[in-house]
Amino acid sequence: MAAWAQGVNADFYGLDGAVEDNRVQIKFKSGRTIYHKINTITKKTHAVKLYLNDSEKTNGTTEFERFLTWYENENGSGSAPVELIDIEAKTGTKEYYVTLSNWRGQKYKELSLKLEEV
């Protein structure tokens, strides 16, 4: 498990959530369709935004540069789970796979992240 990037804020905003499909479809020749549940745990994914500074350097790097270094090395581009505050409950912690969709901006970067429950 990876720790959150050091020197990078975790003030997520703009939450969009979804539940992953947890069923298998079986179609019969008669036209009838039935569904079976895959497992008992329904996992959720969250799309969030993160606002990072890319102009002020601390110890030679900006907040955005520290995030990218963390994302590529420690996080493994989303392959290592990260323990973060529970996005929905706002208390306690939960493990998520963090993947970066895109970013925009010059002086300040607005990142689009996907948090997938482990």
- Token pair, residue 81, equals 């789970």
**How does DSSP classify residue 61?**
B
Please give the share of the chain, as a percent, with pLDDT higher than 70.
100
Give the pLDDT confidence of 8-42 residue by residue, as tens digits. Answer: 999 999 999 998 888 899 999 999 999 999 888 88
Does the reported pTM lie above 0.75?
Answer: yes
Task: Report the amino acid identity of residue 36.
Answer: H
Amino acid 49: pLDDT: 97
Give the pLDDT confidence of 36-92 residue by residue, as tens digits. Answer: 998 888 889 999 999 999 999 999 999 999 999 999 999 998 999 999 999 988 889
Closest by Cα among 104, 12, 6 to 63: 6
